[in-house]
A and B are shown apart, each in its own frame.
Chain A
């Protein structure tokens, strides 16, 4: 066989998920479903205090329980290497940093026995007063050195105060978002086994190679002695981007009891140990001239992290990208509290930050008497507004706003708030912009031509439910000039060529570049009449290092129609529409799922989701899906995503931008703006619960 130059163009077609049948028939195996022989079960024990120290552990009743093999805690836990991630220093200290932290574990023959052992374990604590409530004047606030992953915490240009003082129109308001928990459908789980000193982990995560490296570090092993296998993952939304304590526990317990060990994180435990989005307090000041041209943008953010680890969410960074203005200020301040450690949750930074910026833009539009779409168009920019010179590789925010306005019927909108009634319902519409960076990270991949005419492409990528496996198959098919049914893509294993995590919406761009380069190298070999099987490899480090300096971002516009019950304050969403300019769409079917999934999550953020901190105990109390509300089908009637044809040859060989996160960005502001349009009431604290609207009747 030969690979030909025929352009088969699988990219752009709605190929159904390659593993779809396996998933719906239950054949696809998820981490916890691996069942090695003689497996034991470890059940973590969580701290019942928010701050203090373990005085003693009484394991007598637990160890007397039939089936219980071992109790692990600080006194008998093996010493781990000092690592970068203090959350993974499992049982290395008697200190308790937050309520719910794993402080011990029970290992048993069955999960039931382990749980009963957990119930019977007696831990005596020295309790210290805790501090768990974030507020804007918290005495512990400080400016971190950088915000996630490595942005300056503070950026300033011109003179914001002077510009605000002389602005023709201005807004100075504070928005608040609560803590949110990722709540992937599949909770975190790990099955660990040791074989001749090598560690093998079946684990639910967003990137097997990165997890392998981090876990090897914790156990002071060379990375090649650890293998992480994760072919199917039931969602992560960022919470599986770094290893979590259950993976360390499984490996540690397996080492101690000399048997394979399984650990499943429960839904309740996820509210303490697997990360969440920090609550934020955001002061937003905008100043504009008489025409509505922005003269000043100021975004000052207050957020929290734990005493264990600094995670500084980059909440104001989208504000550095969105609109032109000569005078600019973006700051982040953190308080280290006795709370669980926050982490990545879908569009960390952009998501809460754009709720504030895009709500404030709506408030400014009203203050200026300008249509909110026109205000955004007027302040659009084609160069990075912070340095004033770096061009965007492509930027079609205005195109998204215009296309959305057309589809949504924006032209007929009367801007007057609180005047549209349909029976007891108040009706309104709102708009907000959306953005997300288009990053790329170095990756390796290999491509192999088999004697039977088929191809195998290997890359250490992850499919966390996004459709990555399917998209990469399309990319490989086109790069090889063959049809997708002759290509098998292998992902989800740290033994595969090294690649980064599914995160930052950069998976497809990073892995896809490596796949294309490997396929090109293979084709070159085949063109030289290489003997079959033939194989080629690629590493994109150099290519990515050498890419031109450009501002690379996707943009979008979110439109919402809401109905507010004037008796009860209940909000329903008849329509959500998102229009995106995100380069080339690889697979319209899986892309649509990503967009509307993000928009649904954005609606949850706007109306339902809220992790409630109990000040007395220091934990998030509503720790299951009956109490932590994600949206139901009945909350929204129509949810649509559309995209513009955007060509951008300065991104990657596919011309694509990441789409996993942009859908959640801006949705909450569009809904909040629509609620204002419906009721005349501006809700600046999420979620927009009925009690925050009841006064509008």
Chain B
């Protein structure tokens, strides 16, 4: 491990200023549950860490519209246990609780969760090429071990998946990300926050260097009280999704009036399945009416399970 400087920021503005002062080799440190692992592996070699885990961003506040404003430093376990989240957004609470372990959820922050790096084994092994880690070096996952990598939205340079469960629930809920940056504060819809890899897989999000996530805004979605998060995985706990789905349905008189669907573990982004939502609206709320879409022809995954599950879950 390389020696690095450490400093603790007092507030968001100070953190942004500190990172700018430190230059491109600096990173924000939240819960550290992913960054510190990557430092041990040599994947991340920052020369300075600006600790933002103690910033006054730990509140969960009511919004005038009945939604919630969640501070970026709120711990995953706090958010999952919050009464308003459990009552109004059960899919979010369930998604959080399906991720990692109790110990990790106690450390991991909301902002950090959104910025998790892929768990692709090539990305995590510095002795091998990876376009995300070293642009232009190649992607061995395309021909190699990609069982848990992207089915949709991948490119010739990267087939990584975004590992977060929380983000899948948030993207279904039309959450927005509040960011403090050089030009002040701005808000980015979560649906536009993560990027598909294209030919720049090193960029996971649309954030600019020095940007700091300060909050997640969660609008009210009345029918989210009827929602769930289903995570399919290789073991019952403490593993990443083979595929997951966050779903909320508004059913009246046996008909789907509205719905939200998002998929996890299948793409470089938490995937909002807008076409499947469209196909479901106005349909009778029965198992037979669920859209069964053909497997995408460009699927990287050669195993039938994931595509099959994906079809049953709604598809793109």
A interface list, Cβ under 8 A from B: 46, 48, 112, 115-116, 119, 268, 567-570, 572, 607-608, 612, 614-617, 621-624, 626-627, 629, 631-635, 689-695
Contacts and interface: CB of A to CB of B under 8 A. Distances in A.
B205 interface: no
A80 B118 CA distance: 43
Nearest to B126: A119
A572 B236 contact: yes
Interface string B276-316: 00000000000000000000000000011110110010000
Contacts of A568: 232, 305, 309
B305 A694 contact: yes
A608 B1 contact: no
Chain A binding surface, main DSSP class: loop
Interface residues of B, number: 35
B304 A115 contact: no
Interface in B227-273: 232-240, 242
Interface in B103-137: 119, 121-122, 124-128
A689 B308 CA distance: 14
Nearest to A119: B42
Contacts of B127: 46, 48
B164 to A, nearest CB: 14
A115 B305 contact: no
Contacts of A116: 1-3
Most interface-central of A568, A624, A626, A631 (chain B CB within 10 A)? A568
A105 B242 CA distance: 38
B167 to A, nearest CB: 18
A614 B128 CA distance: 12
Nearest to A118: B42
Interface stretch (B13-21, B140-148, B173-181): B140-148
A679 to B, nearest CB: 14
A634 B236 contact: yes
Contact of B235 (A119, A608, A621): A608
Given A116-B2, A621-B145, A627-B119, A690 B232 contact: yes
Contact of B1 (A115, A614, A622): A115
A622 B119 CA distance: 10
Contact of B140 (A617, A631, A633, A693): A617
Contacts of A692: 305
A318 B210 CA distance: 62
Contact of A614 (B2, B3, B145, B304): B145
A169 B40 CA distance: 57
A691 B303 contact: yes
6 contacts: A614-B145, A627-B119, A631-B235, A691-B242, A691-B305, A694-B308
A635 B236 contact: yes
Contacts of A115: 1, 42
A612 B127 CA distance: 17
Contact of A617 (B2, B128, B232, B235): B128
Given A115-B1, A116-B1, A567-B309, A694 B304 contact: yes
Contacts of B126: 119
List 3 tightest A-B contacts by C-beta distance, closest first: A691-B305, A634-B236, A691-B303
Contacts of A46: 127
A112 B309 contact: no
A690 B126 CA distance: 30
